A and B are shown apart, each in its own frame.
Chain A
Amino acid sequence: MDHIPIIKVGEFLLVSIQVDMHDRLAMRLQDDLTTQLIKTRAQGVLIDISSLDIVDSFIGRMIGNIASMMSILGAETVVVGMRPAVAITIVELGLSLSNVRTALNVDKGIGLLRVLVNSIGNEGSRHDNYQK
């Protein structure tokens, strides 16, 4: 597999990582996502990593980077389905990923994205702390 498919669902982009990420794949995903976001004018990005069971510092940072890029481009990012072992690894690596929003599964992730996107639309502010 040389690239990860990006699916447009409504006003969001859905990325499901089903294979082991290697560094080039991760870089490719960043390029594809930024391009697609501009092209589709999506409001939010949902990254499902429930099949990802190995994470190193590079992939961890990449997830944070993607969130920052999307935020610069005016879209929200939610990472869903992180496995316990992956979460522990990321914490132990010292990556806080404080700019990344998370949810338990795709369903809750979409709910969170809707809330985030709507609150931006209504208030015109991106600095909200809404977690639900």
Chain B
Amino acid sequence: MTTNKQGTIEKIFVHQKEIIDEWLHEQFAALSARQDLISELDLRRQSTEFLALFTPACSTDNLTDITQSEWKPVLDFLGSVSRSRAIQGFSPSETATFVFSLKQPLFARLRQEVGADAVLLANELWNTTVLIDKLGLYTTEVYQKSREEIIKHQQAEMLELSTPVVKLWEGILAVPLIGTLDSVRTQVVMENLLQSIVDTGSSFAIVDITGVPTVDTMVAQHLLKTVSAAKLMGANCIISGIRPQIAESMVHLGLEFSDVVTKATLADALVYALRQMGFVINKPA
């Protein structure tokens, strides 16, 4: 790949002001719908800052390998822009547009400067395209990474939120499960439940699955694991909150919670547990 014909790119950056104006114009055309997310002032500031870093990096001999040290400040800045856009709610293509829309003004300048020399113009256009494409792909990569970080963070929060063990009565615990059960959550639920059984000395544990959207073979297996573990500890387990559709789909799938007491609602399960403990529930006349 040819390196930069010394001077051509530098020459066009003499017109920095015009480039920025044209570039901003391009960006606004592309982002017309997203004015709510970023103000013109911010966009101008980001663009100016980017060009200030981009220009010195272009004046080095290296226009092809952006992993080299002279491109580090540019990449760092692009990274921070992509991350902030990912958080603000831009789409990946909108984020990449930030860099890609620089092509048009740059090409226009190049044509002005070296338009007479067709071979040189073709070379320069090719170099610039390759460079901008690489930078654009880099923003997408960073965008993707920051999205993944957000997802991971939210998953961790969900895990903390979604596994409370509540005491309904002396000796009766309940675990209201919300969301799909996967192996990680099952582990957390199991540990929490078993520890609470030990701590409170409860002999009944009600696992309420009202908030579990679907029960497939996987979820059923995880539920059974939890129930068996609680049984081994010496607590009786009741599964409650089985919605009509879930009961139907379980039968169709051939699933059954053999030798586990199941009840339709948490209330039924509580009454059952109280009766088993020898309580009598009545209303004074």
Interface of A with B (CB < 8 Å)? 79-84, 86-88, 90-92, 96-98, 100, 102-105, 108-109, 131-132
A-B contact pairs, 28 of them (CB 8 A): A80-B234, A81-B234, A82-B234, A83-B198, A84-B194, A84-B195, A84-B197, A84-B198, A86-B232, A87-B194, A87-B229, A88-B190, A88-B191, A88-B194, A88-B229, A90-B229, A91-B228, A97-B232, A98-B259, A102-B231, A103-B234, A104-B198, A104-B201, A104-B203, A104-B234, A108-B234, A131-B236, A132-B277
Task: Report the separation of the CA atoms of residues A81 and B228 in the bound assembly, to the nearest whole angstrom.
Answer: 15
Chain B, residue nearest A84 (CB): B194
User: Is residue B11 contacting chain A, with contact meaning CB distance below 8 A?
Assistant: no
Q: Does A91 contact B225, Cβ atoms closer than 8 Å?
A: yes
Contact with A along B195-222 (1 / 0, CB 8 A): 1011001110000000000000000000
Task: Report the separation of the CA atoms of residues A87 and B259 in the bound assembly, to the nearest whole angstrom.
Answer: 18
Q: Does A82 contact B203, Cβ atoms closer than 8 Å?
A: no
Which B residues lie within 8 Å of A82 (CB)? 232-234
Task: Report the separation of the CA atoms of residues A81 and B225 in the bound assembly, to the nearest whole angstrom.
Answer: 19
Interface of B with A (CB < 8 Å)? 187, 190-191, 194-195, 197-198, 201-203, 225, 228-236, 259, 276-278
Given A84-B191, A108-B203: A102 and B228 interface contact (C-beta under 8 Å): no
Given A80-B234, A88-B194, A102-B234: A131 and B276 interface contact (C-beta under 8 Å): yes
Q: How far is the CB of A128 from chain B (nearest CB, A)?
A: 13
Q: How far is the CB of B278 from chain A (nearest CB, A)?
A: 8
Task: Report the separation of the CA atoms of residues A90 and B202 in the bound assembly, to the nearest whole angstrom.
Answer: 21
Q: A84-B194, A104-B203 are in contact. List 7 more A-B contacts (CB 8 A).
A: A81-B234, A82-B234, A84-B197, A87-B232, A88-B191, A91-B190, A98-B259
Interface centre among A83, A87, A103 (most CB of B within 10 A): A87
A-B pairs with the 6 shortest C-beta distances?
A84-B194, A103-B234, A102-B234, A87-B232, A104-B234, A87-B229
Task: Report the separation of the CA atoms of residues A87 and B198 in the bound assembly, to the nearest whole angstrom.
Answer: 12
Q: Does B197 contact A104, Cβ atoms closer than 8 Å?
A: yes
Task: Report the separation of the CA atoms of residues A131 and B229 in the bound assembly, to the nearest whole angstrom.
Answer: 16
Q: Does B235 contact A104, Cβ atoms closer than 8 Å?
A: yes
Q: How far is the CB of A77 from chain B (nearest CB, A)?
A: 13
Chain A, residue nearest B258 (CB): A98
Which B residues lie within 8 Å of A79 (CB)? 232, 234
Chain A, residue nearest B190 (CB): A88
Q: Does A102 contact B277, Cβ atoms closer than 8 Å?
A: no
Chain A, residue nearest B193 (CB): A84
Q: Does B231 contact A105, Cβ atoms closer than 8 Å?
A: no
Task: Report the separation of the CA atoms of residues A102 and B276 in the bound assembly, to the nearest whole angstrom.
Answer: 16
Task: Report the separation of the CA atoms of residues A90 and B229 in the bound assembly, to the nearest whole angstrom.
Answer: 8
Chain B, residue nearest A92 (CB): B225
Task: Report the separation of the CA atoms of residues A29 and B104 in the bound assembly, to the nearest whole angstrom.
Answer: 85
Chain A, residue nearest B236 (CB): A131
Q: Does A90 contact B203, Cβ atoms closer than 8 Å?
A: no
Which B residues lie within 8 Å of A88 (CB)? 187, 190-191, 194, 229
Task: Report the separation of the CA atoms of residues A88 and B227 in the bound assembly, to the nearest whole angstrom.
Answer: 10
Interface centre among A79, A84, A88, A96 (most CB of B within 10 A): A84
Which A residues lie within 8 Å of B194 (CB)? 84, 87-88
Chain A, residue nearest B199 (CB): A84
Chain B, residue nearest A97 (CB): B232
Chain A, residue nearest B203 (CB): A104
Task: Report the separation of the CA atoms of residues A96 and B228 in the bound assembly, to the nearest whole angstrom.
Answer: 7
Task: Report the separation of the CA atoms of residues A103 and B201 in the bound assembly, to the nearest whole angstrom.
Answer: 10
Which A residues lie within 8 Å of B190 (CB)? 84, 88, 91
